[in-house]
Amino acid sequence: MASSRFPMFVAWGPDLAFLYNEAYAPILGAKHPGAMGRPFREVWPEIWDDLWPLIDTALQGRATWSEDLPLVMHRNGYPEQTFYTFSYSPVRDDSGRVAGMFCACTETTNEVLAERRATFRLALDDALRVITDPVAITEAAAEALGRELRAARVGYAEIVAGGEIVSVARDWVGSPEVPSLAGEARLREAFGPTLTGELRAGRTVVVEDCTSDPRCAGEISAQSWAGTGCRSLLVVPLLRDGELAALLYLHEPAPRRWAQFDVQVAEDVAHRTWDAVVRARAETALRESEARFRHMADSAPALIWMTDERGRVIFANLHFDHVFGRPNSDMHGQGWMDVVEPSRLESFRAVMREAFASRGPFRAEVRVFDRDGKVRWLRCEGVPRRSDSQAFLGYTGCAVDITDVKRAEEHQTLLIHELNHRVKNTLATVQSVATQTLRNAATAEAAREALESRLIALSKAHDVLTRENWDGANLQEIVAQALEPYGEHGAGRLRYRGPEVRLQPRTALAVAMALQELATNAVKYGALSGPEGEIGVEWSVSNAQPARLRLSWVERGGPEVRPPARRGFGSRLIERSLAQELEGEVSMEFRPSGLVCTIDAPLPA
């Protein structure tokens, strides 16, 4: 037995004299070597009552076995919770009578406490994981720790106001002898300068008795400690960026020797509580941020969306409901593809695949069907979304309705083409008018006057069309514009009437040019060349399909008219060009009473 490395002892004789090997000496602590040969009861008086039933059994001749038996020993001058696995076996003398017992034992304190610590830690983690309120987390952790270590008061405090104030929202109190310390106090006034310095340095503070510990004596009076119900304390500091940010405290109203297990468990709880509080606040901030984002996104007059790293839509704002007439959740996953025009889907997906491959921003235009089945244009823009560690999380983007922009662009293109067409036609008309005028004019002055009057007529017709955005012109306004310069020849000599008729731009220009030629000829040779001549312009529209316009220009009271020997440019412009432009018939009758010009042409629907 003496040479064995396994702790053993023999208790022999009527007083159970204690004989042990060297391996057992550490178990005795300060009781070694004085315990050698002394009665068992004198060696272990503090655990005698716990062990006597087992000892008595062995002395009755029956062996015993105990596993992880809890025993509070005073082997180093203070109570110490220990655990042992051992057996007691009866030992007989030469006569066969039981004269003592043999014990082989091992201390399992570290193993038992480690398992207990792990079990407590797991239970605490499970409890804190489901709590989302930071204050409730600290309260739950304090209660769990207080009950586990049988402490009188446990609390979690945060250091605020630039590191000068200790703030406790709620603490846990397990003894009626101590009050709650919820509230605020100055750090140096609560702990004194020495302990404050240790806490700021990140060292756990263990005080068995505040009245005798030199770190406390003289700095905070015994009366002050007693006023808070604290005689013994264990405080774990928590630092952030090297600064004291929080602490976990355990208090007792009487002196207490804090075991290493107590310190380890308290430090575990402090850091787990800190992590849980940080997590809860981060999750709360995230929820608030998400709520603000959703409120902002749902209030925006644009389609806002978000994907995961695989390209599946995980968020679509409420504007999708408005545009597409279906729940925005229908857009999640790949549901958004249902609203894209099929002929545009593959090209749009190709843009997205390329963006996901490069992890870069993208912009694309796509045609979709809205809630009424109408085609609309959307401009989609997306930017990559990354975590704090720069891990790719997907894309965030928006889609803006650019249908009106597209229509404006199409209209602008149409206007440019129309403008080019009209400019070419106008230039062709001007070229033709100039050529024919110069060819038929007797003198340069006559050419200038004729050309000027014809260009003015063309310009005025353009003015009418411009006011109507070149969408057409009213026939009555064209007639009035053509006759207006000649009103000086007398009121009542120019009369015109007819229903409202809309002419297409080309038709309006042709009619305006023809009326100008007729009016010019009337001034030179016809009804307006004398003092009493009159001109009447009348038009009507038939009910045929298609409808036909019939316009007549009738001159009366002027000089006697004779058919000209040669037709000039003006006559040819009226009879040929106008008939061709209107796809109708134009006739000019040179009656003795005056010129009569008749236009008969279809009106486009």
CATH of residue 368's domain is 3.30.450.20
Contact between 270 and 172 (Cβ < 8 Å) = no
Q: pLDDT band at residue 514, thresholds of 50, 70 and 90?
A: confident
Which residue range forms the structural domain that includes residue 257?
Answer: 128-283
Strands 494-497 and 534-541: parallel
Regarding pTM above 0.95, the answer is no
Q: Is 250 domain-assigned?
A: yes
- Report the DSSP beta bridge partners of residue 545: none
DSSP classification of residue 57: H
Does the pLDDT value for residue 461 go beyond 60? no
| Helix (H/G/I), strand (E/B), else coil: 425 | helix
> Of 375, 401, 427, which residue is a domain's last?
401
Q: What pLDDT does 256 receive? A: 92
pLDDT surpasses 70 at 94: yes
Residue 418 shares a structural domain with residue 501: yes
Question: For 291-321, what is each residue's pLDDT tens digit?
Answer: 888 888 888 888 999 999 988 999 898 888 8
For residues 581 and 51, the model is more confident at: 51
Q: What gap in Å lies between CA 84 and CA 67, rounded to an integer?
A: 6
Does residue 168 share a domain with residue 24? no
Q: Would you state the pLDDT for residue 171?
A: 94
DSSP three-state, residue 206? strand
Residues 538, 591, single domain; the answer is: yes
Average pLDDT, the chain: 87
Please tell me whether residues 264 and 331 are part of one structural domain.
no
- The DSSP secondary structure of 281-314, one letter per residue, reads HHHHHHHHHHHHHHHHHHHSSSEEEEE-TTS-EE
For residue 243, what are the contacts with CB-CB under 8 A and spacing of at least 6?
A: 163, 200
Q: Does 493 reside within a domain?
A: yes
Same domain flag for 392 and 415:
no
Q: Are residues 206 and 279 in the same domain?
A: yes
Closest to 83 (Cα-Cα) out of 95, 75, 72, 96: 72
Question: Is residue 570 scored above 90 in pLDDT?
Answer: no
pLDDT recorded at residue 33: 95
The per-residue pLDDT for 439 is: 60
Query: Average pLDDT, stretch 552-573?
Result: 81
Q: Are residues 485 and 530 in the same domain?
A: yes
Q: Does residue 120 belong to any structural domain of this protein? A: no
Q: Is residue 78 part of a domain?
A: yes
Arithmetic mean of pLDDT, 387-415: 87
Answer yes or no: is 3 within a domain.
no
523 pLDDT band, cuts 50/70/90, is confident
pLDDT digits (tens, 9 = 90+) for 405-445: 888 888 787 767 766 755 665 565 556 556 655 666 667 77
Give the span between the Cα atoms of 136 and 121, in whole angstroms.
18
- What is the per-residue pLDDT for 477? 87
Last residue in a domain, options 283, 317, 336: 283
Q: For the chain, first and last CA: distance in Å?
A: 125
250 phi and psi angles, rounded to 5 deg: -125, 130
Is the residue at 292 inside a domain? no
* Integer Cα distance of 181 and 77 in angstroms: 33
Domain shared by 472 and 389, yes or no: no
What was the pLDDT predicted at 292?
A: 85
Q: Which of 252, 283, 314 is the last residue of a domain?
A: 283
pLDDT in tens, 112-132: 999 999 999 999 999 999 999
pLDDT band, very low/low/confident/very high, at 232 (cuts 50, 70, 90): very high
Is the pLDDT score of 544 beyond 90?
Answer: no
Q: What is the CATH number of the domain that holds 553?
A: 3.30.565.10
Model confidence over 148-204: pLDDT tens digits?
999 999 999 999 988 899 999 999 999 888 899 999 999 988 888 899 999 999 999
What is the rounded distance in angstroms from the CA atom of residue 226 to the CA atom of residue 243? 29
Whether residue 290 is contained in a domain is answered as: no
Are 387 and 414 part of one and the same domain? no
Structure tokens at 128: 């804190």
User: What residues contact residue 597 under an 8 Å CB cut-off, 6+ apart?
Assistant: 514, 518, 552, 553, 574, 586, 587, 588, 589
pLDDT tens sequence across 345-368: 999 999 989 999 999 999 999 999
Give the rounded percent of residues in the chain with a pLDDT score beyond 90. 52
Same domain, 422 and 568: yes
CATH number of the CATH domain containing 190? 3.30.450.40
| Residue 114 domain-assigned (yes or no) | no
Overall average pLDDT of the 104-117 stretch: 94
For position 54, what pLDDT does the model report?
A: 97
Please state the domain count of the chain.
Answer: 4
Domain match, 241 and 317 both: no
Query: Are residues 79 and 150 located together in one domain of the fold?
Result: no
